Amino acid sequence: MTTLSNNVSSTLPTIAPLNPDYLSLFEREGLTVKPLEPLGIEIYGADVRTRLSDPVIEALEVEMAHRGFIVFKHQTDLSAEELVNASKWWGAGGIHSTHGVHPATPGMNRDIFRCSNDNRYGILGVGPQWHNDGSFEAATFSHSAYYMARAPEQGGTHFAHQGAAFDALPEEKQAFWERLVSVNSASGVSHPVVHTHPISGRKSVWLHLGMTGAVIERFPAEDLPIDELQQAPASTDQLRLLNEDEMKQLFNDYNDLLNASFEKHYGIRYHYDTGDLLYVDNWALAHRAAPEAHMSAEEQGLRIMDRVTVKSRQNLAPHFGLPQYINLDGPHPFNRDGIWKAGGVGFRWKDDIPMQN
């Protein structure tokens, strides 16, 4: 198995700086904006109980697409309704909830997913591996809110920029990954392994490490540029399934690529204060809970984080004219050594890691 560090990356990963026009707009409207390094933005002086102006909301959504996330500081004691209302500023302007509701959720509000390190207060152990929220859906959530109602002493969220991660890939892997489509083992939904972000226009990597049952490859075509190949419908004989070794390589490469984000300056470990309201562009950044986030309340104090997930304007649609849903339960017409696994965590690429997301 080759490792990423053996290869020279094709271009240096970059995160766009804050747009200066937007910066003056934010300042005119009384917001103090602090870009974090290498990604993310903190915002001081806002009160999300009152809707921001439309130009500010639009500018913040663009900044999220480029820099990954924003954090409204000092938003303590938001009600469930106030949190949900502010979350409707983004994406398609609605909430997309797929989760169960924990009994401790304020008002049993069905749009709040309450996570905690104490099961009396919320759901335990969410999201230990790199992932994007709602990747089992065709219209994967455009944004997610993480509202730290009560911050623990340590343990936040790790974020990795999937556009900069694509840039950091060696050229031959970029070309290979652009010809891949993954299929979710739970829902059968199919997504491209490299998609073009609808706002930033950046090619961005995308894979679910804990719920993928198959990866379909389209054979290269010398005469077609990749963008045209992705648009062109494929016949069955132009497609194959990755086999076990190829799947292991892909999943390990993806995990290594995102793990390398911290030293290569396209990842950040964000630590929350109580009252932080973080919005992530869920098509631009992958995330995972920091390992310390799951330490018990006795060890590091009680953690209560409320998540709200935002409806996307469009589906994350697969390439090659493939259907948005592919049934992994039945037989398939591809190579017989290909992986095709319905249910559970899908393909197990590593034996000793918790896969729940």
Q: Would you tell me which residues interact with Fe ion (CB under 5 A)?
A: 127, 133
- Record the tokens describing residue 65, joined without a space: 């697409």
Q: How many residues are given for the chain?
A: 357
Residues whose CB is less than 8 angstroms from the CB of residue 260 and which lie 6 or more positions away in sequence, other chains included: 4, 5, 168, 267
Least distance in angstroms from the C-beta of 357 to Fe ion: 7
Nearer CB in complex with Fe ion: 230/312: 312
Q: Put the strands of the sheet holding 285-289 in their side by side order.
A: 267-270, 157-161, 285-289
Residue 47 backbone phi and psi in degrees, to 5: -130, 105
Closer residue to Fe ion (CB): 74 or 271: 271
Shortest Å, Cβ 127 to Fe ion: 4
- Per DSSP, helices labelled H in 16-87 are 20-28, 54-67, 80-87
Q: How far is the CB of 84 from Fe ion (least distance, A)?
A: 18
Q: Which residue's CB is nearer to Fe ion, number 56 or number 145? A: 145
Q: How far is the CB of 115 from Fe ion (least distance, A)?
A: 9
Closer Cβ to Fe ion, 127 or 156, answer by number:
127
We find the least distance from the C-beta atom of residue 287 to Fe ion, in angstroms, to be: 6
Residue spans of beta strands (DSSP E) within the chain: 32-35, 41-44, 69-72, 113-116, 143-150, 157-161, 180-184, 190-192, 194-196, 203-205, 212-218, 239-241, 267-270, 277-281, 285-289, 304-310
Nearest distance in Å: CB 248, Fe ion: 24
- Compare residues 130 and 340 and give the one whose CB is closer to Fe ion: 130
Q: Got the DSSP string for 128-169? A: -SSB-TTTTSTT--SEEEEEEEE--SS--EEEEEHHHHHHHS
Specify the residue, 15 or 280, whose C-beta has the smaller distance to Fe ion: 280
Of 284, 251, 279, 247, nearest to 267 (Cα)? 284
